[in-house]
Structure 1
């Protein structure tokens, strides 16, 4: 079944329209999902509420609310800074969806980094980052980057995430490759018999 998803063998837009009532997907949620599928088909990356608002008449606030609802219901997920439709696609194909790991408590992590309680506005800013499709780990990585740079502001964190999304960075702190030491020499070089070369 995963091959069907990877090779796009199924027309999920038609399947969504036919099964939306059965899955209790509202008309507006269905409309936004169709817009996300269309943007994905034409290669728009990352898909954000502002990208969606450019091609529809819904307000940005309404799009945010619908996206949060879709994420909460596990019809879409956030992976590496963009929206992922695989949970919905698996549901449309009657495949069991894997429950995602518990979300990180971003508010307490931000409060630890800032050294104070967050205001309501700052909590809304964290939610808006999640609505833009950034996953919790990436938001924490951007926060760590801002702490490392000594500029702990939401504007800086948002710019870091935007840059990562633009250049396709999926994980900021990837494990480093083990370095080979200069003493390690390939076995074929060790076994080379140079004195036999002229014979």
Structure 2
């Protein structure tokens, strides 16, 4: 299968048109996906809402809403400011894509801010997603701003822009726990200090 993909033997646009109804894609979502595939095929990078707007009659707001819906339904992914078509390609080939855990960014931000977010702040979160930042990166940037004591959307956006500039994909990737650390922690927990006669 990888060789077929590598040599471009599979026409994903035709597959998308044939499978869009069974995948419960709206006509507008299918159209935007076809535009993204076309832009990707002719080598336009990065693919942004403004690039899509140049070749279609949809408004920027409609394109943004459609892209957010496609990302939320895991048909496309955003990686460091650009769109990734691998999820839709895997779905079209009936391959399982990596299970993405749903994150409620509004709740995460409300916990960090200690208050409810305004409508404007919710729009700012959506704009971060539209810029191509993953949920994990947005949460990492929020954590970084909390650690530095500057909890503002402007600061969070600057952190994300800086990370994108230097190609940081995951700031706080989970580290595997070593077995020896678990053993040491267990020995500390089991230590009977009251039995020690010195």
Please, what TM-score do these two structures have when normalized by structure 1? Answer: 0.71
Q: Relative to 1, partners in 2 of residues 1:71 and 1:175: Cα closer, same or farther, differing over 3 Å?
A: closer
| Cα displacement (A) at 1:102 | 2.3
Are the aligned partners of 1:77 and 1:85 in contact in 2 as well (CA < 8 Å)?
yes
Q: How many residues align?
A: 174
1: CA distance between counterparts of 2:28 and 2:114?
40
Are the aligned partners of 1:80 and 1:171 in contact in 2 as well (CA < 8 Å)?
no
Could you tell me which residue of structure 2 aligns to residue 44 of structure 1?
45
Indicate yes or no: 2:1 matched with 1:15: no
Secondary structure (helix, strand or coil) at the match of 1:127 reads helix
1: CA distance between counterparts of 2:165 and 2:31?
26
Could you tell me which residue of structure 1 aligns to residue 140 of structure 2?
141
1: CA distance between counterparts of 2:59 and 2:16?
23
| Cα displacement (A) at 1:161 | 2.0
Indicate yes or no: 2:118 matched with 1:119: yes
Equivalence map 1:1-199=2 (5 Å): 1-5=1-5, 8-41=8-41, 42-45=43-46, 47-93=47-93, 95-98=94-97, 100-173=99-172
2: CA distance between counterparts of 1:40 and 1:116?
41
Secondary structure (helix, strand or coil) at the match of 1:90 reads helix
Secondary structure (helix, strand or coil) at the match of 1:78 reads strand
Higher helix share: 2
| Cα displacement (A) at 1:33 | 0.7
Moved over 6 A (4+): none
Are the aligned partners of 2:49 and 2:63 in contact in 1 as well (CA < 8 Å)?
yes
Aligned-residue RMSD, C-alpha: 2.8
Are the aligned partners of 1:81 and 1:170 in contact in 2 as well (CA < 8 Å)?
no
- Superposed CA deviations along residues 45-99 of structure 1, whole A, max 9, x for unmatched, are 3x33334334433112111221122223332233455432122112222x23246
